[in-house]
């Protein structure tokens, strides 16, 4: 059976986590890997090990370990619930960690308008324990992500980057995408 990896792409509060959890419930034999969980764990228990700036190598190492373990020791489908906005980092996942000859690759791009995201972050009740700086907020993250959108490294997924690309422009579209991904997984299980 060929496995599936679903990689979410989008700014903060675009619906990636909600989508991933709903997909995990509907997609048999799957699990969600969410780097926010790793960040919160590290900030809670290993705060002194976390770099004050730059890449959070420890968080990325935990994520890599989980992916490698899942590939080698399970037959589970992967749901990667992170922003994945950097084309370079996405291509690393798609080509190195989840090569096309081993796994069916799906990108789900949450292209939600910034004004909707702004409303969501101002009303957010999500834990800020995922952040390294005590003064960081989801509004700060959204401002940074808007600015990063002008950077060449941050790019929207394009057709052909993975085996399938879904674009969600409003939350109501998520259910149809969930159903289509489950259908793809069922087809793969019959091959």
Token pair of 57 as six digits: 């190598």
- pTM of this prediction? 0.93
Q: Is the pLDDT of residue 175 over 90?
A: yes
Across 65-91, average pLDDT: 95
In angstroms, how far is CA 123 from the centroid of its own chain?
22
Across 82-93, average pLDDT: 92
| Residue pair 20/37 in contact by the 8 Å Cβ criterion | no
Instruction: Say whether 116 sits in a helix, a strand or coil.
Output: helix
Can you give the pLDDT at residue 144?
87
| Residue pair 56/50 in contact by the 8 Å Cβ criterion | yes
In angstroms, how far is CA 170 from the centroid of its own chain?
17
Task: Show the domains of the chain with their CATH numbers.
Answer: 3-189 (3.40.50.300)
When mean pLDDT is compared across 33-37, 63-67, 126-130, the lowest value belongs to: 126-130
């Amino acid at each position: 059976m060929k496995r599936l990896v679903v990689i979410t792409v989008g700014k903060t509060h675009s619906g990636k986590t909600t989508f991933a959890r709903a997909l995990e419930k509907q997609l048999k034999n799957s699990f969600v890997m969410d780097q926010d969980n790793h960040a919160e764990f590290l900030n809670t228990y290993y705060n002194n090990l976390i770099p004050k700036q730059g890449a959070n190598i420890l968080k990325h190492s935990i994520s890599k370990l989980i992916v490698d373990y899942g590939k080698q020791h399970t037959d589970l489908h992967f749901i990667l619930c992170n922003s994945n906005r950097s084309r370079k980092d996405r291509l690393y996942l798609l080509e190195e960690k989840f090569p096309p000859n081993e796994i069916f690759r799906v990108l789900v791009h949450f292209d939600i308008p910034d004004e909707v995201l702004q409303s969501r972050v101002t009303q957010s009740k999500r834990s800020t324990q995922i952040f390294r700086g005590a003064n960081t907020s989801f509004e700060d993250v959204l401002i940074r992500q808007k600015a990063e959108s002008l950077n060449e490294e941050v790019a929207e997924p394009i057709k052909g980057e993975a085996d399938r690309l879904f674009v969600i422009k409003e939350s109501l579209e998520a259910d149809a995408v969930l159903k289509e991904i489950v259908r793809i997984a069922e087809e793969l299980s019959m091959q």
